[in-house]
Amino acid sequence: MSLKSQKLDGDVKETLKRFLLRSINLPDVADDEDLFETGMVNSLFAVQLTTFIEKTFRIEIEPDDLNIDNFRSLRAATDFVKAKFATSPV
């Protein structure tokens, strides 16, 4: 992983983590913790999360992207955002 990729990963993850913790009022969340299975979030929050991702990272979430696995955990959401950056036109 390049230094630029590591920075992007860290920046995206920290931004998403701050949003998650502030939104669900928890002291911490593990990278791979299943946010839906644990009951921390619900489908309404998924809409808030996708809106936050679109606005914050200036990416468009397509209907095909609306797979719960893309947003199931902090790591999944981070990987999703990084993948969208990788495929977006420069």
pLDDT single digits (tens) 55-66: 999 999 999 999
Number of domains in the chain: 1
* Percent of the chain surpassing pLDDT 90: 66
Domain that holds residue 23: 3-87
CB-based burial of residue 60 (10 Å sphere; 0-12 exposed, 13-18 middle, 19+ buried)?
A: exposed
| 32 has pLDDT over 80 | yes
| 47 has pLDDT over 60 | yes
Query: DSSP secondary-structure letter at 33?
Result: -
Location of structure tokens 């999360």: 49
Distance (Å, whole) CA 54 – CA 43: 17
- Residues 62 and 53: beta-carbon distance below 8 Å: no
Q: What is the CATH number of the domain that holds 45?
A: 1.10.1200.10
How large is the average pLDDT for residues 9-32? 90
